[in-house]
Amino acid sequence: MNPLLHQIQHRREFLRSGLRYAILTALAAVAGVLVARRTATPEQAGCPKIRLCRGCASLPTCVLPQAAEVRAMTKRS
């Protein structure tokens, strides 16, 4: 095999793998941003789970009025 042709194939493979890793890194970054956005506190997100306050992990620190009511009800029980 011609050494020059063999060297060109190595370069192509290097560029292909570099492109693959760049795409993989970009996908991981997008996933990280989406996960960070999804784990916002209920105050930041407007808390769509108002009726599910009892099961919410942020209940002890939540400042929404509904959460305060739930905390008051659970203290009475």
Q: What is the pLDDT along the chain (77 residues), one digit of tens a residue?
A: 567 666 777 888 889 999 999 999 999 999 988 877 665 555 555 555 555 676 777 778 888 887 788 788 777 65
Give the model's pLDDT for residue 16.
Answer: 92
Check whether residue 55 and residue 21 sit in a common domain.
no
Give the model's pLDDT for residue 38.
Answer: 62
Check whether residue 49 and residue 35 sit in a common domain.
no
DSSP helix/strand/coil, 12 = helix
Check whether residue 35 and residue 47 sit in a common domain.
no
Check whether residue 34 and residue 62 sit in a common domain.
no
DSSP, res 48? S
Q: Encoding tokens for residue 43?
A: 């105050």
Number of separate domains in the chain: 2
| Range of the structural domain that residue 56 is part of | 43-77
pTM of the model: 0.45
